[in-house]
Amino acid sequence: MSRKPVVVVGSINMDLVAHASLIPRPGQTLIGDDFTTTPGGKGANQAVAVARLGYPVELIGMVGEDVFGDTLLRHLQAKGVNTDGIGHVSGPSGVALIVVAADGNNTIVVVPGANSKVTPAVVEAQAGRIRDAGMVLCQLEVPLETVLRASEIAREAGVPFVLDPAPAAGLPEAIWKNLSWITPNESEAAYYLQGNGHEPDAIARQFLGRGVGGVVLKRGSEGAFIAQSKELARWVPPFSVKAVDTVGAGDAFNGGFAVALLEGQEAAEAARFAAATAAVSVTRAGAQEAMATRDEVEELLRAARSKG
């Protein structure tokens, strides 16, 4: 049976990653341990997460005509992502300056470059891909008006639309009803709700009240909280793994969640599959390089089941 692809509308970055014992405080200079240049970007990471799980995926985005553009494109192709929806624009590709501390935590500064040229017109030109998708995934490293337009096209075509509202940014009121799922982490949820509500239940209810179909609160090492209504709400427990690098873990989660939903898993089960996908990814360095294969995810789920 032919499977409708996941279509990601999102960013493509080159990640410039310094590993250091700590994340420096303002004004502090640290000597780092290691430096790598590795493909990233929330959109590209989510697309690679889906591809690594063996599901068809297309990415709509932009790279620059600089030293990174072709490398980023070739890397996506090598990972199995359909890149026909990716254009080139003059100027630099997106970059992210990342510091990863010894405990696996990180800070990131993104300079959008070519990602800022993923305009609503680009999405219009690729609207056929969105209409033919099994699901559309978006994040907020491309312009907000583009995300809104993509969500409208998806809604009109009856295609589920999943928004990872990261990095947090003021969303247009009109977008909420277009969201089948929203998947904020703790700080993003606090941003969108202006700090109203601390308990996951209360947070999820506020998002649902805005008209979204479902909420997944990504809580890292605490697992995730998923809610589609007051009754359909529950915690999804975390997996215990040794984290060496959490960059891209949220993207791994969203890729895994999309694949599991499209394969017919019910929402909480899909979130558990997503949590396992993210857990595998944090055990390795890098964003796209760390994405989990299907076998690895299933092995982790099996091991957790056998422990009861």
Binding site for ligand RIB (CB under 6 A): 11, 13, 15, 40-42, 45, 96, 108, 110, 141, 247-248, 250-251, 287
27/24 Cα distance (integer angstroms): 8
Q: How far is the CB of 13 from ligand RIB (least distance, A)?
A: 4
Q: How far is the CB of 233 from ligand RIB (least distance, A)?
A: 26
**Is 92 or 213 the residue whose CB approaches ligand RIB more closely?**
92
**Is 47 or 89 the residue whose CB approaches ligand RIB more closely?**
47
252 touches 292 (CB < 8 A): yes
For residue 126, the Cα-to-chain-centroid distance in whole angstroms is 20
301/250 Cα distance (integer angstroms): 18
**Is 45 or 83 the residue whose CB approaches ligand RIB more closely?**
45
Q: How far is the CB of 257 from ligand RIB (least distance, A)?
A: 15
Q: Among the options 15, 66, 245, 251, which is catalytic?
A: 251
Pairing state of beta strands 86-89 and 6-9?
unpaired
With tokens 């873990």, the residue in question is 249
Q: How far is the CB of 14 from ligand RIB (least distance, A)?
A: 8
**Chain position whose Cβ is nearest to ligand RIB:** 40
**Is 152 or 251 the residue whose CB approaches ligand RIB more closely?**
251
Asked if 251 is an active-site residue, the reply is yes
Residues carrying an active site annotation: 251
